[in-house]
Amino acid sequence: MSVDVFSDAMIMMKNSEFVAKRSCSIKPASKLIVATCSLLRDLSYIEGFDVKENPRGGILEVKLKGAITECKAIKPRYSVQIKDYERFEKRYLPSKNMGYLVVSTPKGIMTHREAKKQGIGGKLIAYVY
């Protein structure tokens, strides 16, 4: 039984990349995981994904491209204001312009750079580089 489905999904993608698999199956698929995979696709970390429905929450088939070095959920999910993004960049990312923090905002899931441009805060949920 899984306690944190989102964290398990991020670890599954990272481990599949590490052993050079071309795809991975994530079960169950949640709206948060689908939105995060959509963001990772837009950032060119994954090729794409396909959601298959089943009675137990759905299955997400993620097509990998070998671009993810590190990908993890952030626990606890810190609330972050605009002025705090730089502090969390230093904490989770290897350098200033490498990688992204994934932020859940009132306007949806986005990167910390987009959130800075729009001037909104939110909750940190993951990082990827």
Q: How confident is the model over 15-33, as a mean pLDDT?
A: 95
pLDDT tens digit sequence for 95-115:
988 999 999 999 999 999 999
Predicted confidence (pLDDT) at residue 118 exceeds the cutoff of 80: yes
The CATH number of the structural domain formed by 5-64 is: 3.30.1370.30
CA angle (110, 116, 121) in 5-degree steps: 70
How far apart (Å, rounded) are the C-alpha atoms in residues 57 and 88?
Answer: 32
What the block records as the tokens of 100 is 């992204």
Residues of each domain in the chain carrying CATH 3.30.1370.30: 5-64
How far apart (Å, rounded) are the C-alpha atoms in residues 15 and 18?
Answer: 5
pLDDT tens digit sequence for 42-65:
999 999 999 999 888 899 999 999
Q: How confident is the model at residue 40 (pLDDT cuts 50, 70, 90)?
A: very high
Task: Name which of 41, 27, 33 is nearest 10 in CA terms.
Answer: 33
pLDDT tens digit sequence for 61-93:
999 999 999 999 999 999 999 999 999 999 999
What the block records as the tokens of 62 is 């993620």
Predicted confidence (pLDDT) at residue 2 exceeds the cutoff of 90: no
Predicted confidence (pLDDT) at residue 1 exceeds the cutoff of 70: no
Helix boundaries (H) for the chain: 5-18, 31-42, 85-92, 112-118
How far apart (Å, rounded) are the C-alpha atoms in residues 101 and 124?
Answer: 7
Q: What is the pLDDT of residue 96?
A: 85
Residues of each domain in the chain carrying CATH 3.30.1490.10: 74-128
The CATH number of the structural domain formed by 74-128 is: 3.30.1490.10
Pairing mode of beta strands 108-111, 100-105: antiparallel
